[in-house]
Structure 1
Amino acid sequence: MAYSHVPHLVIRNTTFWFRMAVPKDIFRRTGFLEFKGSLRTRDPAVAKLLARRLSGDFEQLIARLRHMEELSHEKLQALVRGYFQGLIDKGKETIACMRDDAMADFEQETALTQRDLDALRKELTSRQFRQVIKGAAMDILAGAGVEPKAVSPSGFADLYEGVLRAEIESLRIQVARLEGRPWNTSPGDPLFQGLSVENYPPLPLLPGQEPPEAIPAPQGKTLSEVQREFVALKSKGEWEEDTRKDYERVLRWLLEVIGPDCPVDKVATSHVKEFRDMLLKIPANYSKMAHLKGMSLKELVALPPGEKTLSLKTVDKYFGMQRTFFHWCVAEDYLQKVPGEKLTLPAPPPASEARYPYSPEQLNKIFSSPVYTGSKSLGRRSTPGSLIVRDGRYWIPLVALFTGARLGEIVQLLVSDIKERDGCVFFDLNQYGGEKKNFKTESSKREVPIHPGLVDLGFMGYVGALRQKAPKGPLFPDINEGTGKDFSDAFSKWYGRYVREIDAWAEKTAFHSYRHNFKNALDKGGVQVSLSYALMGHADSSVHAAYGSKPSIKQLAEAMSMVKFEVDLSHLFSESHQSTTDT
């Protein structure tokens, strides 16, 4: 608990602690949600002195971090490219030394280099970077005069990956040169496109050794060369970072199946079919399972049956990415037609069957659970008690029920997104005010009137209290952002655990089920289709929709008043005026 109004000073048992929340813009750079630690004193006077001193120190640190220019993704890439060029130069020195050494064993050197290359590729797949890679990254920063504080946690992850990719690509080129394949010494990794690796000294022949049989170079561009062009072009503003990583992963798998040196115009339907069949065998959550880390695609699909495989939705996404790549190849005249264009995937279940709405029994169980009737403590929300905290965990499921909004749309709301026009209060689901806001489609951006039932539950009182404190802040400030691009990651995991703990979970139901409940309520209320589409954020592709203007906020509010739910919330109406509210 806080102690004597001294900022950031709390007491646990009889010992004083310092706790200071890290602003969101600083969290992105440090990876810390808060600065905290024991002051190791029970003396209030000493604790106050230490807390004030630490507060000042951390405020100065935050100010310095805000004024410190963050190393951009482009600058990081430039540093990694420079590191790669240095590795190439070292490779040239190795070849030169071997040329002058009559005892050099080229076969052994090739085998050892290939072994190291395979090990590094596994490390890249697992993303469990060894200390030597991290040390090389720190050396790169030091050599460039860059302070580590100028690099965000995600920047360090990209830097480690870049160092590893440089090591891998330099060894791949070294193997190609040792094996007498000079046409494969151009960088195949899009990160190092355009860098020169020419002027390798020629390999000597040992006494009595015959020149190796010439291997004809492939005609036209190889698959890896075209893939590199595609990624480089699309990365120039068209893709978000997560999209780029997804495409690079899928195309890396594609090259593993077909072969990076295969001429792109020789890719056949059989190749794409093999790739599709492999996608269908990849274990679900393979990147999160320790015993699967470091495995190549072929190793993953060779595992004994039994592991749950990727969902058809994910497979469809990955398969669509390779198809997009080959469509681009056709547009660029690298191909005459898309290979495997008529190949299909097993049909996924209809969208209506993917998730069910919550049953009335489930809804009553959720909204009469400890979060709404009293829990043991903030850390034990599923255990019955006397504490009712009207925070994000309290309001978000109710907002989902009364709006049909997606979880990601709800948790990224700002206080300023609650607006009023023509006497109607509404949620303005928009892109403004938050650089990390994300919407599934353009039609997802919409205005949703606040349901009268939500108003009766005291929601506007909650909003009003937040407007007093932080009018431009998040609507649910207690909900931490997820680790990925999706705001909802952290809440989604908590909610999934919570519904199981209160025994409200059932097969094919999830948080998204609230959206199905809302859709059903619109239908049962007799809301006309155009208004239903507008409230749900669905695109109306009918000819009729192309004429006239979109529904007014008053029309939407009238439609919202027709929406009823099969759940008893009467106990929450009485709670809405009690003093247990905490904003």
Structure 2
Amino acid sequence: MDFDLVRTAGGKSIAREAPEILQKRCYCSLFPVSLPGIPSRNRGNGMARHGSNLQSKGGRYFARLAVPKELQPILGKKEFSQALGADHAQAVRRLPSVLDGFYQDIDAAKAKLTGKPAPAPRPSPKRLLSPTEIGTRHLQSRLALDTEIRDSGSPAIGLGFPDEDYVSQLRDLAAGRIFDPLPSPIALALEWASKSGNLQDAPGTSGWNATVRVLARAELVAIETEMLRDEGEPDPPIPADLTPVNPAAEAQPATSARILGPDSLLPLSEILPRFLAERRPSGPTAREYETVVRQFEEAMGEPMPVHTITRRHAVRFKDTLLETPSSATKRFPGMTLLDAIAANKARKEPFPCLDAKTLNDKNLSRLKTLLGWCASNDLIPDNPATGIRVETAEKAGKAPREDFTPGDLTKLFAPALFAPAGTLDESQWAMLIGLFSGLRPSEAAQMKLDSVRHERGVLCFSVEEETKNRGSRRLVPVHSTLIELGLERRVAALRKAGETHLFPIWYAQGMKAKAEAEKNGSATLNQYFPRFIPRRFNVTYLKNANINDPTKDFYSFRHTFKTGLRKSGVDKGTADYICGHTDQSAGAVYVHGVSIEAMKAAVESLHFDGLDLDALRKSLGLSAVA
């Protein structure tokens, strides 16, 4: 037989052998490729097999399976139903694994009805595979193919050599430095996983990219093993991240060491109500937990028993969130998390993705807390989300907010810009109160007229609405400058007009935004109030005042107030109480003993250079203070 050197899937050159051997060389992860003289296999259409189980409703697809009448009392439902997203192709790919879960529940219910143990579930051949499982199968098939070729006795065995360019390309892929173009072995492996229903991720998504990285690593391990075999060396140990999956072990969940009880078999979506009932978080916080559980299960493709969640899943969730557009449910209504990511990437100008700080403080923190609760209540032996965070190098170098300088205050409160009409409206009062009281924007926006009251003869702002934390509830004496500029007259006029809040327009705008957020299930404590007066100040007013420093915004009034207290010699305990900080020092318990008179003296000690109050009073038609 004559042999010609050809390039193989492994990046080596071997002799061209019999067609059946060549077919196996190009088989790559058990997916057949059409070659001359070799017919390809037609896999058919998944819809033909599951037409009655896949339903379309309102532009979205659902998996559906009727429950036998005799099992309905046990399962508490007449049918199973699970959303599969708005993309038809992805819905068809996800359907088999979802139906497999339905059938397992039915088998368990049958066992409970008959008293016989349920048969050990066999893993569906179309269940969704993780990147590691896909990479492991690829490595196994590559090594098995190499073994078969060597066993064939071909004289060309051992004559190959590695392609350095191909190896370099694989290293770039494994490191995530490139994702295009894909070498044929990787592309074929992805095509096999996609067409056989084992890969739910679309090209460009975090799951797809993770699978590419693992497949590239599997290729590198296969090439290294082949080279060692050529030298007569034993196979090297398979890396831990490519350890072969044991299907038999996966088919016997009852033997898993991570199952500590019946609740270990429940998904997070079924555990969450019990967690919320025990923890009793606020409404917005509860919605954050609900959102995170939904995002996690959509990122994984389906609800999974909590005992099967590993660090690999937590890392994949983090990677998915990094590609998730902000306000995804509003911008891509009706889409799952993965659908929204793909749709956003398809836009000419994609929407910005979620902020790393938000992911750490909200999404990943909530997942860690929920899984930590599961560990504390013996549902799982440990918390797989511990330490999973988004590492951001730029965070350490991010410039903090800066105080307004005397020059800034001169520009901000120049009568021609600040009060050109000779009156003060909500925006002007918000700026003055921010500077002379240090109230947070959300605290000022919610301030009731009844909360501007006298305590022991001292006019105070009583911060008592929804606040950031318990320490935020406090009394803040009103600075005499605000009284001189007419704060009490404003309160009286608003009462006469039938208003209930110090900033009625601002408060109404914020509450409308809050209602819309709650309707969409995305409300967070007080996030909506900074959208109005503070945003206009940041976007328009600062520009008109010729202040272009990105470290200065409406919140800088609060920073300037706190700095002013420090410069005036006010002790830390008193200043922390006035500003609404929770003091963690050993003497913190005594802070609440600060008298209102002492706090009044502290506030009156404030002096802001650059603020020309006489010019402001004159523009408002008020008498100058001697």
TM bucket, shorter chain: 0.5 to 0.7
1:311 corresponds to which residue? 355
| Mapping of residues 361-376 of structure 1, within 5 Å | 361-368=407-414, 372-374=418-420
Aligned residues of 2:474 and 2:580 also touching (Cα < 8 A): yes
1:506 aligned partner, one-letter code: D
Aligned with 1:345 (options 383, 390, 410): 390
Extract unaligned runs of 5+ from structure 2: 1-44, 63-79, 86-90, 108-112, 115-246, 255-261, 515-522
Give the whole-Å Cα distance in 2 for the aligned partners of 1:393 and 1:351.
32
1:285–1:575 distance in 2 versus 1, CA, 3 Å: same
1:110 aligned partner, one-letter code: H
2:50 aligned partner, one-letter code: T
2:503 aligned partner, one-letter code: F
1:116–1:577 distance in 2 versus 1, CA, 3 Å: same
Matching of residue 428 in structure 1 with residue 349 in structure 2 = no
Aligned residues of 1:420 and 1:426 also touching (Cα < 8 A): yes
Give the whole-Å Cα distance in 1 for the aligned partners of 2:602 and 2:61.
57
1:118–1:277 distance in 2 versus 1, CA, 3 Å: farther
| SS across alignment from 1:478 | helix
2:580 corresponds to which residue? 537
Give the whole-Å Cα distance in 2 for the aligned partners of 1:115 and 1:358.
59
2:598 corresponds to which residue? 555
Matching of residue 440 in structure 1 with residue 468 in structure 2 = yes
Aligned residues of 1:176 and 1:182 also touching (Cα < 8 A): no
Aligned residues of 2:324 and 2:337 also touching (Cα < 8 A): no
Give the whole-Å Cα distance in 2 for the aligned partners of 1:398 and 1:230.
45
Q: TM-score, normalised by structure 2?
A: 0.54
Q: TM-score, normalised by structure 1?
A: 0.58
Deviation at 1:411, TM superposition (A): 0.8
| SS across alignment from 2:593 | coil
Give the whole-Å Cα distance in 1 for the aligned partners of 2:265 and 2:535.
40
Deviation at 1:397, TM superposition (A): 1.1
1:395 corresponds to which residue? 429
Aligned with 2:314 (options 272, 281, 287): 272
Aligned residues of 1:106 and 1:178 also touching (Cα < 8 A): no
| Mapping of residues 7-156 of structure 1, within 5 Å | 107-108=47-48, 110=50, 113-114=53-54, 116=56, 119-120=59-60
1:526–1:351 distance in 2 versus 1, CA, 3 Å: farther
| SS across alignment from 2:532 | helix
Aligned residues of 1:371 and 1:389 also touching (Cα < 8 A): no
Aligned residues of 2:449 and 2:495 also touching (Cα < 8 A): yes
Deviation at 1:419, TM superposition (A): 1.3
Matching of residue 360 in structure 1 with residue 394 in structure 2 = no
| SS across alignment from 1:506 | coil
Give the whole-Å Cα distance in 1 for the aligned partners of 2:495 and 2:536.
26
Matching of residue 506 in structure 1 with residue 571 in structure 2 = no
Higher Rg: 2
Deviation at 1:285, TM superposition (A): 4.3
Matching of residue 227 in structure 1 with residue 269 in structure 2 = yes
1:547–1:243 distance in 2 versus 1, CA, 3 Å: closer
| SS across alignment from 2:60 | helix
Deviation at 1:461, TM superposition (A): 2.1
Aligned residues of 1:448 and 1:556 also touching (Cα < 8 A): yes
1:225 aligned partner, one-letter code: P
Aligned residues of 1:283 and 1:307 also touching (Cα < 8 A): yes
Matching of residue 573 in structure 1 with residue 617 in structure 2 = yes
Aligned with 1:333 (options 378, 382, 407): 378
Deviation at 1:518, TM superposition (A): 1.0
Deviation at 1:523, TM superposition (A): 1.5
Deviation at 1:273, TM superposition (A): 1.7
Matching of residue 182 in structure 1 with residue 103 in structure 2 = yes
Aligned with 2:477 (options 439, 449, 456): 449
Give the whole-Å Cα distance in 2 for the aligned partners of 1:452 and 1:352.
36
Cα deviation 1:347-396 (Å, max 9, x = unaligned): 5746994422234343333323766332xxxxxxxxxxxx3442212201
1:310 aligned partner, one-letter code: L
Deviates more, 1:514-523 or 1:454-463: 454-463
Deviates more, 1:346-355 or 1:534-543: 346-355
Aligned with 1:320 (options 352, 356, 365): 365
Aligned residues of 1:428 and 1:446 also touching (Cα < 8 A): yes
| SS across alignment from 2:390 | coil
Aligned with 2:491 (options 463, 466, 471): 463
Cα deviation 1:413-456 (Å, max 9, x = unaligned): 1111111123321101113xxxxxx2001100010011122222
Give the whole-Å Cα distance in 2 for the aligned partners of 1:293 and 1:178.
22
1:444–1:121 distance in 2 versus 1, CA, 3 Å: farther
1:234 aligned partner, one-letter code: L
Aligned residues of 2:449 and 2:491 also touching (Cα < 8 A): yes
| SS across alignment from 2:292 | helix
Give the whole-Å Cα distance in 2 for the aligned partners of 1:286 and 1:278.
13
Give the whole-Å Cα distance in 2 for the aligned partners of 1:574 and 1:312.
48
1:434 corresponds to which residue? none
Extract unaligned runs of 5+ from structure 1: 1-104, 123-164, 187-197, 200-212, 375-386, 432-437
| SS across alignment from 2:500 | coil
Deviation at 1:563, TM superposition (A): 1.3
Aligned residues of 1:121 and 1:294 also touching (Cα < 8 A): no
2:505 aligned partner, one-letter code: D
Give the whole-Å Cα distance in 1 for the aligned partners of 2:600 and 2:405.
26
Deviates more, 1:391-400 or 1:546-555: 546-555
| SS across alignment from 2:341 | helix
Deviation at 1:315, TM superposition (A): 1.0
Give the whole-Å Cα distance in 2 for the aligned partners of 1:166 and 1:119.
16
1:283 corresponds to which residue? 325
1:286–1:167 distance in 2 versus 1, CA, 3 Å: closer
1:160 corresponds to which residue? none
2:505 corresponds to which residue? 478
Aligned residues of 1:427 and 1:448 also touching (Cα < 8 A): yes
1:118–1:185 distance in 2 versus 1, CA, 3 Å: farther
1:544–1:407 distance in 2 versus 1, CA, 3 Å: same
Give the whole-Å Cα distance in 1 for the aligned partners of 2:105 and 2:415.
64
Aligned residues of 2:448 and 2:502 also touching (Cα < 8 A): yes
Identity of aligned residues (%): 22
Give the whole-Å Cα distance in 1 for the aligned partners of 2:296 and 2:48.
30
Aligned residues of 2:422 and 2:620 also touching (Cα < 8 A): no
1:261–1:442 distance in 2 versus 1, CA, 3 Å: closer
Give the whole-Å Cα distance in 2 for the aligned partners of 1:111 and 1:369.
72
Q: Alignment length, in residue pairs?
A: 390
Aligned residues of 1:270 and 1:340 also touching (Cα < 8 A): no
Deviation at 1:533, TM superposition (A): 0.3
2:554 aligned partner, one-letter code: F
2:509 aligned partner, one-letter code: E
Give the whole-Å Cα distance in 2 for the aligned partners of 1:500 and 1:120.
46
Aligned residues of 1:218 and 1:263 also touching (Cα < 8 A): no
Aligned residues of 1:330 and 1:337 also touching (Cα < 8 A): yes
Give the whole-Å Cα distance in 2 for the aligned partners of 1:507 and 1:444.
27
| SS across alignment from 1:533 | helix
1:361–1:310 distance in 2 versus 1, CA, 3 Å: farther
Aligned residues of 1:224 and 1:260 also touching (Cα < 8 A): no
